[in-house]
Amino acid sequence: VRDLMRSGVIKPSDKPIWFDVYTAFPPKKDPLYVKPQARTYGKKKDTVSDIFYKEDEIRAKFYERYGTGPRPFDLSKSNFVSTSQRFVQKYNELERLGEVDESALFEETGKALLAEDIVLRRRGAPMVSPESREPTLELKLTDMLAEQSVGPVESQEKAAHPPQTSSPNS
């Protein structure tokens, strides 16, 4: 307060009532307030408990089974909905309807998304199963070029009369 009065911020007529007493009888020690610290012994316990929502459990099971998916999240779009979020929404919708048994609900949600053209690929599973592959995909480029160089008439004859292989018993 003394320095504020010297600088002219506080007028002498506006000085506090206690100022004259304080200047006449100053304390022996400068008053300094130190906040007392609470003493803690041992390891400090975490008071915040873990918060888990039902969606978190569904999403964790989804990521465990299907992984993160073939493409990254597109966070530049404000209306982007991830595959896992669609899965959770469909799961909750099917659960609300109550038509599906609780144990089969996860599988039925995957089937429902497949019906909506959202393909979920299990972790570690091949993209296309070998049984569903087209036999023409197995052709090699050299075989295709050889067929083209032979000509259409000869390739039809080869297809009609496949070459005979002699067996060791004959």
Q: For residue range 138-156, what is the model confidence (pLDDT) as tens digits?
A: 566 677 677 777 665 554 5
Neighbours of 157 (CB within 10 A): 11
At 24, is the pLDDT very low, low, confident or very high (cuts 50, 70, 90)? very high
Does this model's pTM top 0.85?
no
pLDDT of residue 78: 85
Which ranges of the chain does DSSP label H, i.e. alpha helix?
Answer: 2-7, 19-24, 54-66, 83-97, 105-115, 141-150, 152-160
* CA–CA distance, 121 with 72 (Å, rounded to integer): 15
Q: Cα–Cα distance between 111 and 92 in angstroms, integer? A: 14
Residue 67 pLDDT grade (very low, low, confident, very high; cuts 50, 70, 90): confident
pLDDT value, residue 137 = 56
Instruction: Kindly tell me if the per-residue pLDDT of 170 is higher than 50.
Output: no
Share above pLDDT 70 across residues of the chain, in percent, rounded to a whole number: 74
* 113 SS3 class: helix
Q: Is the pLDDT of residue 126 over 80?
A: no
For residues 70 and 108, the model is more confident at: 108
Q: How confident is the model at residue 9 (pLDDT cuts 50, 70, 90)?
A: very high
As given in the structure block, the two tokens for residue 53 are: 């929502």
User: What region does 151 belong to: left with phi over 0, alpha with psi -120 to 50, or beta?
Assistant: left
Amino acid letter, residue 15: K
Q: Which band of pLDDT confidence, cut at 50, 70 and 90, is reported for residue 159?
A: low
Q: Which pLDDT does position 4 carry in this prediction?
A: 92
111, 91 Cβ separation under 8 angstroms: no
